[in-house]
Chains A and B, each alone.
Chain A
């Protein structure tokens, strides 16, 4: 349970008890307790993958919890579908907006109404007067007759909230609402949220920008790895302690990687710029070298050029400008294991073959040497401890950890020189994640192999700060497409975290 908030005399408007949810082998929520009270703005924070979105899914009836109890205003409820959540008085404002751009504000709001007259006629007059009243109450003013596509993103979000408020929910859930707003709009928006809470509603806010959370929330619940690690009043926290809670364990208690002597240079990026899939500038003027025997860490929140840098280093894409020097073959562990690294419906041998069809050793002219591929797969599974009943099971039947071991092993067959790993432990449980990390470290520290080559160079691109702090010999932060060097002297969680999340002074860009 949480410690008592200001209004703990009244029953919590939302109370979650021991909510558990797993997706296959991934435990997304591991016994989450949460209590939010009428009249409070309650922020739910955590890093990517901490379970925030799954928890909101549970509350809005999109995701069904495996275990646990949900109580609304003291009454136990079952939220099996979105309609149940509505009926219980939970209103969800989605991260992606759900308005019809061609219709007016009034029409959009009316669409959300379950009307009388068998849904044949939308109750426009009724909605119009309700909208006027709501605008008055909350200060969310929008012209009801303007077509939505003419509105700014901030105005559209206001409409989205009005649409939800029109159904008079007791609990308003907002999923990262400020991500689409300009700084000035954010302030106005917070003012509105405070007003809604003041009226006695509960505002449940999912967020990850630390300054904003501290500015608006009465109480803060921090999720990490599917568990609640802290829940308490916001005035007892500052940005440092909140970042610490979000990011996790203390690094000083852990063994730092032994310094190694880097070998020959493998990678050289000079002044590299690249665009993302939507044409936006994803990398700008990146300089980077990687040598054999070292682990280069790139920390940062996904979406800041991580994917583009990974594909570039893997040799799967070329830059828009700048020069790139890479070894002939590069091993690549992509972030999307089931989508990009493996073919779920293929068996293990086929999944190993997937990366090796260009290698002469596994071909005889136009034919694949399945016998060799099969024994290579068997050896790989043995060496990397891939737990699977046989080579003939499909990849999707393995646990996440075993899938990742298979991928890492396969990529080492492809290249003994350079390995690029993007979020290599995401979605794995702690033990499996640790195993993969140890494997990467062991590789970079291994002495000369039988073929006389130095150990490979490894690049770990990760949004898991602990991971890169622990593994890297040299550390960078990739933020907004720029690669920032972390000086050896300032390799602390606080400094790197601040650089990643940009909650200090320089976030204004």
Chain B
């Protein structure tokens, strides 16, 4: 194929990711030392908690990576098209509500019908949740960064209403739904662990998205719109509004699917605080991955390990779990810094090269 990996990358790619990880690591270790912790003990606890045993690896790390990969793909896809969808969290919850509702209502049907139905309805719900910001951007020119964040709060409140109202458990004691029946639960990928087929689905979707971006006309146009709306319209004759519409809804659909994977694969019920902020962490995942779909899969697993190891770090080294959230936030800053560094480096290098070259022109 004529196309190379780096052609699809929006940000600087592998080097930026590695530099960002290095910056994050140095700062994190420095902060641990400054906070009076032993970084060696902390890191070994982290690693053991994440991948110390098959149980830890498959049932904790990889299970947690599923929503991170799916929401990460949602964010990466949207960002590539210049759609700043910060609403993966809300879209995930919309998907979770819809998924649990289908699971509860259609639980009597055989699994080969219910499970696909749950996934389909959830991703539709995620897309519908994204539809409002989409229309507001395309029709009214309202910036989606604001509307998607606000829709997150609406979704979180809606979950609260659902689990203490229409979808509350039949006992009526706790603010949560009944557990969905066995037929509505995702089959396991590896028997004896908690790893469900959602992980395989996430990997397949990552690969599919990669193909879409690098090989299809639509994927290319999407990136043109994201890079330069003016060039898309005037040179590419691309209908930017249509591209944004499709991309935004697809992004919402991916995040909604993440919600289905959670209720149908891990918790089997809906309650408040189901997501520890997957939809926000997804932004760090997507940026560190350079918005590359396969990169999102890798970074999603890495972040799943961080989340998985956080518990062990707290138990064994006495470091609060909040440190992991801090590290994830640090990743975003490090990626932006590393990418800025790359741009600066490329510019100075080309300025030095240019006087010789311009005589050719």
**Chain A residues in contact with chain B, CB under 8 A?**
24-25, 311, 314-316, 332, 334, 336, 339-347, 349-350, 353-355, 357-358, 363, 366-368, 370-371, 373-374, 387, 392, 396-402, 405, 428-429, 431-432, 435
Does the CB pair B215–A339 fall under 8 Å?
A: no
Interface segment among B137-145, B221-229, B261-269: the answer is B221-229
Select which of A357, A398, A428, A435 is within 8 A of B220 by beta carbon: A357
Q: A371-B1, A428-B361 are in contact. Are A340 and B217 (CB under 8 A)?
A: no
Does the CB pair A387–B227 fall under 8 Å?
A: no
Bitwise, B7-37 to A at CB < 8 A (1) or not (0) is 1001000000000000000000000000000
Does the CB pair B236–A25 fall under 8 Å?
A: no
* Alpha-carbon separation in the docked complex, A398 to B215 (Å): 26
Q: A357-B236, A367-B216 are in contact. Are A402 and B361 (CB under 8 A)?
A: yes
Bitwise, B315-326 to A at CB < 8 A (1) or not (0) is 000000000000
* Alpha-carbon separation in the docked complex, A405 to B360 (Å): 12
Does the CB pair B227–A343 fall under 8 Å?
A: yes
**Chain B residues in contact with chain A, CB under 8 A?**
1-4, 6-7, 10, 215-218, 220-221, 224, 227-228, 230-231, 233-238, 346, 350-351, 353-354, 357-358, 360-361
Does the CB pair B231–A341 fall under 8 Å?
A: yes
Set of chain A residues within 8 Å of B2, measured between Cβ atoms = 349, 370-371, 373-374
Does the CB pair B361–A400 fall under 8 Å?
A: yes
Given contacts A339-B230, A358-B237, 5 further A-B contacts (CB under 8 A): A24-B351, A340-B228, A343-B224, A343-B231, A397-B346
Q: Could you give 9 example pairs across A and B, Cβ below 8 Å?
A: A332-B234, A339-B230, A355-B236, A368-B215, A368-B216, A368-B217, A370-B3, A374-B2, A398-B357
**In the complex, the 6 A-B pairs of residues with the closest C-beta atoms, listed nearest first:** A401-B361, A387-B360, A370-B2, A399-B361, A399-B358, A374-B2
Set of chain B residues within 8 Å of A332, measured between Cβ atoms = 234-235
Closest to B3 in A: A370
Cross-chain pair count, CB within 8 angstroms: 107
Closest to A431 in B: B361
Does the CB pair A316–B233 fall under 8 Å?
A: yes
How near does chain B come to A28, taking the closest CB pair, in angstroms? Answer: 14
Does the CB pair B231–A354 fall under 8 Å?
A: yes
Q: A316-B234, A339-B231, A401-B358 are in contact. Are A357 and B217 (CB under 8 A)?
A: yes
Does the CB pair B233–A339 fall under 8 Å?
A: no
* Alpha-carbon separation in the docked complex, A431 to B4 (Å): 35
Q: A340-B230, A343-B224 are in contact. Are A316 and B237 (CB under 8 A)?
A: yes
Set of chain A residues within 8 Å of B357, measured between Cβ atoms = 387, 398-399, 402
Does the CB pair B358–A429 fall under 8 Å?
A: yes
User: Most chain-A Cβ atoms within 10 A of its Cβ — which of B221, B235, B350?
Assistant: B235
Does the CB pair A367–B235 fall under 8 Å?
A: no
Closest to B219 in A: A368
Does the CB pair A311–B216 fall under 8 Å?
A: no
Task: Classify the interface of chain A: helix, strand, loop or mixed.
Answer: mixed
Q: A343-B227, A346-B227, A353-B220 are in contact. Are A392 and B4 (CB under 8 A)?
A: yes
Q: A343-B224, A366-B217, A392-B4 are in contact. Are A429 and B361 (CB under 8 A)?
A: yes
Q: A316-B233, A345-B227 are in contact. Are A366 and B216 (CB under 8 A)?
A: yes
Does the CB pair B361–A342 fall under 8 Å?
A: no
* Alpha-carbon separation in the docked complex, A354 to B224 (Å): 8
Set of chain A residues within 8 Å of B10, measured between Cβ atoms = 345
* Alpha-carbon separation in the docked complex, A398 to B360 (Å): 10
Set of chain B residues within 8 Å of A392, measured between Cβ atoms = 4, 6-7
Set of chain A residues within 8 Å of B351, measured between Cβ atoms = 24
* Alpha-carbon separation in the docked complex, A335 to B112 (Å): 58
Closest to B357 in A: A399
Select which of A340, A349, A370, A397 is within 8 A of B215 by beta carbon: A370
Closest to A405 in B: B361
Set of chain B residues within 8 Å of A428, measured between Cβ atoms = 361
Set of chain A residues within 8 Å of B6, measured between Cβ atoms = 392
Does the CB pair A334–B354 fall under 8 Å?
A: no
* Alpha-carbon separation in the docked complex, A397 to B350 (Å): 6
Does the CB pair A350–B7 fall under 8 Å?
A: yes
How near does chain A come to B342, taking the closest CB pair, in angstroms? Answer: 12
Set of chain A residues within 8 Å of B227, measured between Cβ atoms = 343, 345-346
Does the CB pair B237–A311 fall under 8 Å?
A: no
* Alpha-carbon separation in the docked complex, A373 to B360 (Å): 24
How near does chain B come to A377, taking the closest CB pair, in angstroms? Answer: 10
Set of chain A residues within 8 Å of B233, measured between Cβ atoms = 316
Set of chain B residues within 8 Å of A396, measured between Cβ atoms = 350
Select which of A24, A346, A367 is within 8 A of B354 by beta carbon: A24
Set of chain B residues within 8 Å of A315, measured between Cβ atoms = 237
* Alpha-carbon separation in the docked complex, A336 to B231 (Å): 9
Q: A316-B237, A367-B216, A387-B361 are in contact. Are A357 and B221 (CB under 8 A)?
A: yes
Closest to A355 in B: B235
Set of chain B residues within 8 Å of A429, measured between Cβ atoms = 358, 361
Does the CB pair A432–B235 fall under 8 Å?
A: no
User: Most chain-B Cβ atoms within 10 A of its Cβ — which of A315, A340, A341?
Assistant: A340
How near does chain B come to A191, taking the closest CB pair, in angstroms? Answer: 43
Closest to B353 in A: A397
* Alpha-carbon separation in the docked complex, A405 to B4 (Å): 25
Set of chain A residues within 8 Å of B216, measured between Cβ atoms = 366-368
Q: A366-B216, A368-B220, A373-B2 are in contact. Are A347 and B234 (CB under 8 A)?
A: no
